[in-house]
Amino acid sequence: MKDQSRMTEGPIAGAIIRFAIPLFLGNLFQQMYNSVDSLIVGNFLGNSSLAAVSATGTLIQLMIGFFQGVFLGAGVLVARYFGAKLDDPLRRAVHTTITIALTVGVLLSIIGVLFTPLILDWMGTPDDIFDQTVSYIRVYFAGAMGLIMYNACTGIMQALGDTKHPLYFLIISSVTNVCLDLLFIGVFHWGVFSASLATIIAQLLSAILCVIRLMRFEGSAKLEPKHLGFDMDMIRQIINFGLPSGLQNSIINFANVIVQSNINSFGTMAVAGLGAYSKIDGFAFLPVTSFNAAMTTFVGQNLGAREYERAKKGSRFGLFCAITLAELIGGLLILFGRPLISAFTSEPEAISYGLDKLHIMAPFFFLLATSHGLAAVLRGAGKAKIPMFVMLGCWCIFRVTFISIMVPLTHSINVVNWVYPITWSMSAVILTIYYFKADWVHGLDLKTA
């Protein structure tokens, strides 16, 4: 099939690296969306506006993370049918996924616009940035369709081995986002809401380009409007593959919303400083994220083709690369953390907050890479429930309990910072034991009817 690539043949390292590099570049440009917003907002509108943008990150991920997980599961399903060369179920999986995305996009916009003030109030968003935060996130949710459709389409393309076209479209949309940010904020002097307006316009553009590309595919993966609809059998399979990942994302992001509410209690400078760190962290971890996504597709395609030993060898190679990269990145952040955070804010207090978090978390990036890498392998193997339960226990229940008890006792924001490496280590140990002790390779059951 044109523009599609099977990862079931040829050298393992080459297949994973060729997949991961365009994916990394694509993730890099996608990460630019909110980071460019933060850079321009922080420099043109000041720290209160930067804090307003930063305070929305966990809420956006909470609302959208569930559906992204579902589409990740749909991508695993597409990869397996593609690897197994089952054309009819592949066609039905593609069209059902797009139909779900269209429906979710509408619902997410309605829910986000209506309930944003209530949720932000519950999170304890500081009064001096509350109105700006509401305006920013409401506009963002109004254009949620672009983000949802882009993720659904790229999930399908990546499952088919095509990472180049999503990269091209992201470059176009990222440049559009930067230009619109500068126009709306730097020239028109609009408020913080215009940063999210620029983002949703750029995201909608990337989604349209992705849909056009899918409609030009050849073979059973080609998107044809006449085939759109809800195939109940495919919906059940997408739920089976995607619901655990969606719940995992929601659980983690719900915990992060509670973490953010604790950060908010330390004031605007803490929100701005830790928000600046989160932008750097998002960029820094992209190479690791890219290898993880490559492993999910690689494992899914090869298990679909019943290439069991190849799947195991590929997972080991991907995990080694992800963990090694994570520690190298952590070291670089420690060396260059101050100038990087200073790019987002010039306030010494905010910079100090950001550096404190960086110095605590960066040395332990290998634990985060291990947790996410093993979860990616298990998702590709159709075992998404395992990392879901592990993350529920470690990254939600323990993390929230720890913070809820220790922050009132210590009144120290470093309690919030330290809870991350602590919970990373717990999940890494549990998932490593499962990876080596359990049979995650066999038991593939693809429905073709």
DSSP per-residue letters across 415-440 = HHHHHHHHHHHHHHHHHHHHHHHS--
Q: Locate the domains of the chain by residue range.
A: 12-437
Q: Which of 194, 122, 42 is nearest to 130 (CA)?
A: 122
Residue 448 has pLDDT above 50, yes or no: no
pLDDT at 263: 79
pLDDT (tens digit, 9 = 90+) per residue, 242-290?
778 777 777 777 777 777 777 777 777 887 788 788 778 877 888 888 8
Average pLDDT score over residue span 318-323: 90
- What mean pLDDT do residues 389-393 have? 89
Q: Inform me whether the pLDDT recorded for 63 exceeds 70.
A: no
The pLDDT-based confidence of 449 (bands split at 50, 70, 90) is: very low
**pTM of the full structure:** 0.72
Q: Is the dihedral of CA 401, 407, 413, 418 positive or negative?
A: negative
Q: What is the pLDDT of residue 425?
A: 96
Q: What's the rounded Cα separation, in Å, for the pair 434 and 432?
A: 5
Average pLDDT of the residues in 385-395:
88
Burial of 352 (0-12, 13-18, 19+ CB in 10 A): middle
Greater model confidence, 404 or 1 = 404
pLDDT band at residue 30 under the 50/70/90 scheme: low
113 vs 265, residue with greater confidence: 113
Non-local CB neighbours of 44 within 8 Å, separated by 6+ positions: 185, 186
Give the closest residue to 401 by CA, choosing from 393, 389, 410. Answer: 393
Q: Is pLDDT at 1 greater than 50 in this prediction? A: no
Question: pLDDT band for position 421 (50/70/90)?
Answer: very high
pLDDT band at 32 (very low <50, low <70, confident <90, very high): low
The pLDDT of residue 379 is: 84
Whether 345 has a pLDDT exceeding 90, the answer reads no
Q: What is the mean pLDDT of residues 79-100?
A: 87
pLDDT in the model for residue 66:
75
The rounded mean pLDDT for the chain is 83
The answer to whether 23 touches 296, Cβ cutoff 8 Å, is no
Burial track 89-102 (b if 16+ CB lie within 10 A, e otherwise): bbbbbbbbbbbbbe
Q: Which is more confidently placed, 401 or 55?
A: 401
pLDDT at residue 3 greater than cutoff 60: no
* Average pLDDT of the segment spanning 84-100: 89
Q: What is the pLDDT of residues 120-135, one digit of tens each?
A: 888 777 777 888 888 8
For range 389-406, the mean pLDDT: 88
Residue 154 pLDDT > 70, yes or no? yes
Long-range contacts of 111-119 (CB under 8 A, 24+ apart): 111/63, 111/141, 112/63, 112/137, 112/138, 112/140, 112/141, 112/142, 112/144, 113/138, 113/141, 113/142, 116/59, 116/141, 119/59
- Output the six-digit token pair for 116: 């944003």
Determine contact, residues 141/109, Cβ cutoff 8 Å.
yes
Token output for 265: 């209690």
> Residue 432: what pLDDT?
95
Answer yes or no: are the C-beta atoms of 362 and 333 closer than 8 Å.
yes
pLDDT over 90, % of the chain: 18
pLDDT number for residue 33: 61
How wide is the angle at C-alpha 104 spanned by C-alphas 298 and 279, nearest 5°? 65
Residue 51 — very low, low, confident or very high, per pLDDT cuts 50/70/90? confident
**Higher model confidence: residue 307 or residue 50?**
307
